[in-house]
Amino acid sequence: MAIRRPEVGLLIPIERPWPDVGMATLGVIFLVLVQHSSPLPLRHLLREVVEKVNEYGPFIGVVMAYSAEEEALISSGFFTPNLHVPWVDLSGRRFHIGTISDVDVIYVMSGQRRLNAGITVQILIDVFDVRGIVHYGTAGSANDSMSFGDVSVPKFVAFTGSWNWVKFNTAEGGNLTELSFGTYNLPGGGENRLAEVEFKAEEFYCVNRSMEEVFWLEMDTTWFQIAGRLKDLKLQRCVNETYCLPKSPKVVIGLKGSTADIFVDNAAYRDFLFRKFKVSTVDEESSAVVMTAMSSGVPAMVFRGVSDLAGGGTNWTSTSLSSIAASNSLTVAVEFIRLIGSEKLIGRN
């Protein structure tokens, strides 16, 4: 077995006394400690550090998938690292401890696609005292009414990458949504040995419930209502003095988003997803973040900024569009964190 090399960002020795507290507060901290006393196995080298970190909680877990999205947070200056333990490394991810607008947060870059997103959110929930997950990033737009820089705050997300791949020349005709490849033959539709795929639901395991098959995952009602207040937020329109989007980007609340381990850059498939599932954005992580959080009864919200058109419309993409999309999604996420921070009681107990 490989030797574990846990790391922790410590600007001062762990033994340093923690901020002075009166007797009454001590009692409270003791109770909290008892409640969250063993997030890691007894012999784990970071057990003590994680306990210290959790004294600063509860936190909002902030999750993004890749470096351009993390860069948006770093360059925004919104995040202030904790002076005592600025970060903890677990399973190859760096969990940054600190605040955003005085709200205690732990932010972490998960890596791309479903498995990385799921693993990372599970660690956040199991190890740290987290009361909810905020996920932001870029997305492709599948909806012609959503363009570059717009931010979608979906009410529903689904995983659209789990398929029954059907035999050629059999008419099974279940009631699942089907994608028949022959329909897309050129110059006209016909048969195709790839036949068709049927879109399957996910097995959803959740605390206190028996397994259910679900396709659409719905956001936590309370958190979604709070996000509703963000619809008139002003977003960034210009990358610099000369390069601006043709229209002011907008926040759009309550649409549907789809996730798969697939980067969609194909007009026909984009159109299929919009027509069949009414999804406005496509990405590679959102539904994994939401499902992992929901399994433990933890609320989650998704903020995705449009960085490309998933193969539709124009042919152009650029890093400028990615950065404006990431930064606009971050703007909405940060405003949401502020609102949640002012409603201390919301989230997991």
Ligand X SMILES: *[C@@H]1O[C@H](CO)[C@@H](O)[C@H](O)[C@H]1NC(C)=O
Residue numbers at the binding site for ligand X (CB under 6 A): 143, 145-146, 174-175, 207-208, 239-243, 252, 255, 278, 280, 297, 314-315, 320
Output 46 or 121, the one with its CB closest to ligand X. 121
Which pair of structure tokens corresponds to residue 29? Answer: 């901290």
Q: How far is the CB of 132 from ligand X (least distance, A)?
A: 13
Q: How far is the CB of 247 from ligand X (least distance, A)?
A: 11
Output 258 or 331, the one with its CB closest to ligand X. 258
Q: How far is the CB of 279 from ligand X (least distance, A)?
A: 8
Of all residues in the shown chain, the one whose CB is closest to ligand X is 297
* Cβ count within 10 A of residue 240: 7
Output 168 or 243, the one with its CB closest to ligand X. 243
Give the integer Cα–Cα distance in Å for 301 and 4. 33
Respond yes or no on whether the N-terminal peptide bond of residue 299 is cis (omega within 30° of 0).
Answer: no
Give the integer Cα–Cα distance in Å for 123 and 125. 5
Question: What is the β-pairing status of strands 59-64 and 103-109?
Answer: parallel
Q: How far is the CB of 225 from ligand X (least distance, A)?
A: 19
Return the bridge partners of 133, or none.
61, 300
Q: Compute the radius of gyration of the chain from its Cα atoms.
A: 22
Q: How far is the CB of 205 from ligand X (least distance, A)?
A: 13
Query: Is there a contact between 299 and 348 (Cβ–Cβ < 8 Å)?
Result: yes
Query: Is there a contact between 204 and 214 (Cβ–Cβ < 8 Å)?
Result: yes
Output 35 or 145, the one with its CB closest to ligand X. 145
Q: How far is the CB of 272 from ligand X (least distance, A)?
A: 13
Output 169 or 349, the one with its CB closest to ligand X. 349
Q: How far is the CB of 206 from ligand X (least distance, A)?
A: 8
Output 205 or 243, the one with its CB closest to ligand X. 243
Give the integer Cα–Cα distance in Å for 250 and 338. 19
Output 180 or 320, the one with its CB closest to ligand X. 320
Give the integer Cα–Cα distance in Å for 221 and 250. 22
Return the bridge partners of 137, or none.
304
Residue type, 120: T
* Cβ count within 10 A of residue 196: 19
Q: How far is the CB of 161 from ligand X (least distance, A)?
A: 19
Give the integer Cα–Cα distance in Å for 267 and 308. 12
CA torsion, ordered 115, 68, 131, 227, to nearest 10 deg: -110
Output 98 or 311, the one with its CB closest to ligand X. 311
Output 172 or 343, the one with its CB closest to ligand X. 172
Instruction: Name the helix (H) or strand (E) containing 295.
Output: helix 286-295
What angle, rounded to 10 degrees, do the helices at 23-35 and 47-55 form? Answer: 130
Q: How far is the CB of 104 from ligand X (least distance, A)?
A: 21
